[in-house]
Amino acid sequence: MSGAQSLLCEMLSCGSMDLEIIDRIGYGWDEILDQMDWPREGLDFNDVLRGAVSIGIINLKKAVSERILVLEAEESIHGKLEPEEAEELDALRLLNPDDDIGGDFNFLATHVWFEKNGSTYRRYLPEAVDEFEDNVGFFLTGGEGE
């Protein structure tokens, strides 16, 4: 282990294998650190993971809002939506990423999942879910067969 890795392990109260998780995070560190509670008595590894998930949730909220706006604009222009688009709009209006996504932050055992509405996210916002998973570094479990 290098001196830098040793320093990070000490600062984050984690092991060297935990640091591999950090390499999977794709969000900017400035964004992640902005999501963390500062100032605090200390910083630990799980705080970093929580920060990354928070950014992912913020981005999912944006994706939901943007898609709703597109569908509402379409509805406004044409007076009504196709039945499948109307169904999508109704489903999207029920989403709340803050409530729909849960996580257990415990170093290597960290796990992130859909509490509810996972199939809706996967059906209507697959790119946003992929972006979340790619940038948070964890697969969102749940929602595959709801």
How many structural domains are present in the chain? 1
Q: Residue 20: give the domain boundaries.
A: 3-141
Q: 130 or 37: whose pLDDT is higher?
A: 130
C-alpha neighbours within 13 Å on the C-beta side of residue 85: 15
* 135 found inside a domain: yes
Put simply, whether the predicted model's pTM sits higher than 0.85 gets the answer yes
Q: Is residue 103 part of a domain?
A: yes
Q: What is the pLDDT of residue 11?
A: 87
Residue 146 lies in a domain: no
pLDDT in tens, 87-119: 999 999 999 999 999 999 999 999 999 999 999
Pairing of strands 140-141, 101-104: unpaired
Residue 108 in domain: yes
Which class for 5: exposed (0-12), middle (13-18), buried (19 or more C-beta within 10 A)? exposed
